[in-house]
């Protein structure tokens, strides 16, 4: 009997005959044996085909990368095989012979890969990222479900701003200007007064005109909102949720994380309670001598590393000239590509660090923290850090004015460790009708446009709050990615809308 089987399940079928349906990653032939590396979405498996299986051997010999095929054979455990199991092939069905595949095992530039994103997703690294993204979302959903939160789907087409007016995407809606939602929050606040504990998860849009490693124009945000809650409750919820997500990812994806070059132990440092500082304390960190010294040291380290890489580059280039073995040439060439990527990164750091030192030194109380400021602050802590109580002028209209310091609002940003920046933004909401109207006017918004939202402050207004987690920012941090664009299946940025 032959059973259909996915590669991830091979371990339960040792000694049995199975049929695998997938695609060819790589074919190696020699000494009367063909090794087919096959992937099926659940993993990669080596399939061994001997030349005495004449028909199958013949069919295999013409196969190109990414050809679709079904393999029938016996499963055996083999420590040397990638994944620990292999298949001794008895029959091979060729489903489709692929044309010459644009993405080869040699390295490609990231722009090329992004233009082929629809195919790039088939690579092991990208597929792993998609699986971890799935786990993060599943983990959040389970977390909120277990705590009695109700999922609310908020609209994507909205009449006005939910955050600042500069990043709105206008849409022509039957001859009226409306916008793509920047957040589900205002609608969630309404649902929260109906149900007490609610959350939403959906795409959100910001016309970000900056090209940074942290900004997408379309990203997915997970937002909880709770009634009868103050800022401390919001912070506690965020901490519990982050611990849950990181814990689930580390438990389920330890090997995946390693394959991405991410050390799971770094994530094990994410333990409650997280550090908590105010914005004013964050500004003190920016102004400190310690910050200048740390950055000066980073700069020196980057320069040293660049020198080391230059030496390695020369050595590898020499080795490349000396060898004609294809596998060796490929290995050296790939390392040379890596070196040049690392050099780019170091040069970027060497260019930027002096600017960041200057920005930190001159940071003025009142401004929002920029990307480099967040990086500097997070480097002062081992784990994530909550920064609360920002100045009113730096934040959105709906945040509750602080009783202790009327210049500030009761908000919180969570900065991920190691310079990955803000992953969560949240606040207690202004629940006083008059103060809210005043803040809207001060931010140039017309309270008449938000009359329905103001109703929530007219009929049974209570302290409440919530936050938004950027799914891609979370994945970028957890997987240790250099750029947020790899954290979403089809990224949209200022410079890219295709594929």
Selection from ligand 4AD, Mg ion, none that 470 binds (CB < 5 to 8 A by kind) is: ligand 4AD
Asked if 169 and 179 touch (Cβ cutoff 8 Å), the reply is yes
- H-helix or E-strand containing 449? none
Asked if 243 and 271 touch (Cβ cutoff 8 Å), the reply is yes
- Strand order of the β-sheet with 150-151 is 150-151, 197-205, 218-227, 464-470, 421-428, 411-416, 385-388, 275-278
22 counts as binding Mg ion under rule CB under 5 A: no
> How near is the Cβ of 470 to Mg ion at its closest, in Å?
9
183 counts as binding ligand 4AD under rule CB under 6 A: yes
Alpha carbon distance 340, 269 (integer Å)? 31
3-state secondary structure of 227: strand
Residues 457-486 that bind ligand 4AD (CB under 6 A): 466-468, 470, 472-473, 484
Asked if 4 and 13 touch (Cβ cutoff 8 Å), the reply is no
> How near is the Cβ of 208 to Mg ion at its closest, in Å?
12
162 counts as binding Mg ion under rule CB under 5 A: no
Structure tokens at 263: 């050390």
> How near is the Cβ of 429 to ligand 4AD at its closest, in Å?
8
Selection from Mg ion, ligand 4AD, none that 477 binds (CB < 5 to 8 A by kind) is: none
- H-helix or E-strand containing 23? strand 17-30
Question: Phi/psi at 19 (nearest 5 deg)?
Answer: -120, 125
Tell me which DSSP letter residue 226 carries.
Answer: E
> How near is the Cβ of 215 to ligand 4AD at its closest, in Å?
4
425 counts as binding Mg ion under rule CB under 5 A: yes
Selection from ligand 4AD, Mg ion, none that 218 binds (CB < 5 to 8 A by kind) is: none
**Which CB atom, from 83 or from 203, has the smaller least distance to ligand 4AD?**
203
**Which CB atom, from 8 or from 497, has the smaller least distance to ligand 4AD?**
497
Asked if 17 and 71 touch (Cβ cutoff 8 Å), the reply is no
Binding residues for ligand 4AD, how many (CB under 6 A)? Answer: 23
Binding residues for Mg ion, how many (CB under 5 A)? Answer: 1
Asked if 330 and 105 touch (Cβ cutoff 8 Å), the reply is yes
Residue of 44, 87, 154, 163 that binds ligand 4AD (CB under 6 A) = 163
3-state secondary structure of 206: coil
> How near is the Cβ of 413 to Mg ion at its closest, in Å?
6
- H-helix or E-strand containing 136? helix 124-146
Structure tokens at 396: 């959105």
The distance of Cα 234 from the centroid of its chain, to the nearest Å, equals 23
410 counts as binding ligand 4AD under rule CB under 6 A: no
Alpha carbon distance 317, 330 (integer Å)? 12
Selection from Mg ion, ligand 4AD, none that 424 binds (CB < 5 to 8 A by kind) is: ligand 4AD
Near ligand 4AD by CB under 6 A, which window of 34-42, 92-100, 134-142, 215-223?
A: 215-223
421 counts as binding Mg ion under rule CB under 5 A: no
Residue of 132, 180, 221, 257 that binds ligand 4AD (CB under 6 A) = 221
Selection from Mg ion, ligand 4AD, none that 391 binds (CB < 5 to 8 A by kind) is: none
Structure tokens at 195: 């149900």
**Which CB atom, from 295 or from 475, has the smaller least distance to ligand 4AD?**
475
Q: Which residues bind ligand 4AD (CB under 6 A)?
A: 163, 183, 185, 206, 208, 215-216, 219, 221, 223, 422-427, 466-468, 470, 472-473, 484
Contacts with Mg ion by CB under 5 A lie at 425
């Amino acid at each position: 009997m032959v059973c259909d089987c996915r590669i991830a399940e091979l371990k339960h079928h040792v000694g049995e005959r199975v049929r695998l349906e997938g695609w060819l990653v790589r074919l190696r032939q020699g000494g009367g044996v063909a090794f087919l590396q096959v992937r099926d979405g659940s993993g990669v498996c080596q399939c061994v085909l001997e030349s005495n299986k004449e028909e199958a051997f013949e069919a295999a010999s013409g196969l190109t990368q990414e050809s679709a095929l079904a393999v029938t054979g016996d499963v055996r455990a083999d420590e040397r095989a990638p994944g620990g199991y292999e298949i001794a092939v008895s029959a091979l069905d060729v489903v489709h012979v692929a044309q010459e595949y644009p993405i080869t095992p040699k390295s490609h530039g990231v722009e090329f890969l992004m233009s082929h994103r629809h195919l790039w997703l088939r690579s092991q690294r990208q597929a792993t990222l998609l699986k971890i993204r799935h786990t993060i979302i599943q983990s959040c959903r389970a977390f909120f479900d277990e705590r009695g939160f109700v999922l609310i789907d908020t609209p994507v087409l909205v009449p006005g701003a939910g955050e600042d007016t500069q990043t709105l995407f206008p849409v022509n809606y039957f001859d009226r200007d409306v916008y793509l939602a920047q957040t589900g929050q205002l609608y969630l606040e309404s649902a929260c007064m109906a149900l007490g504990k609610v959350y939403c998860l959906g795409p959100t849009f910001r016309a970000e005109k900056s090209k940074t490693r942290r900004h997408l124009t379309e990203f997915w945000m997970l937002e909880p909102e709770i009634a009868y809650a103050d800022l401390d409750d919001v912070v506690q919820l965020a901490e519990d949720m982050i611990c849950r997500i990181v814990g689930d990812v580390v438990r389920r994806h330890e090997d995946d994380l390693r394959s991405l070059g991410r050390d799971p132990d770094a994530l094990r440092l994410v333990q409650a309670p997280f550090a908590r500082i105010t914005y004013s304390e964050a500004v003190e960190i920016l102004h400190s001598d310690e910050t200048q010294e740390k950055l000066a040291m980073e700069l020196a380290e980057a320069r040293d590393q660049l020198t080391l890489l230059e030496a390695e580059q020369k050595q590898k280039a020499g080795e490349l000239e000396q060898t004609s073995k294809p596998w060796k040439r490929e290995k050296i060439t790939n390392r040379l590509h890596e070196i040049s990527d690392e050099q780019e990164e170091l040069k970027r750091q060497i260019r930027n660090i002096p600017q960041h030192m200057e920005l930190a030194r001159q940071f003025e109380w009142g401004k929002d923290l920029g990307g480099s400021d967040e990086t500097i602050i997070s480097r002062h802590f081992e784990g994530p850090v909550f920064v609360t109580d920002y100045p009113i002028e730096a934040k959105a209209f709906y945040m509750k004015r602080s009783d202790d310091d009327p210049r500030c609002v009761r908000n919180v940003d969570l900065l991920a460790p190691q310079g990955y920046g803000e992953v969560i933004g949240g606040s207690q909401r202004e629940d006083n009708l008059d103060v809210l109207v005043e803040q809207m006017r001060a931010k140039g918004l017309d309270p008449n446009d938000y009359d329905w939202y103001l109703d929530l402050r007219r009929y049974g207004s209570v302290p409440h709050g919530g936050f938004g987690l950027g799914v891609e920012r979370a994945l970028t941090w957890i997987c240790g990615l250099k750029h947020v664009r790899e954290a979403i299946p089809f990224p949209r940025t200022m410079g890219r809308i295709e594929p």
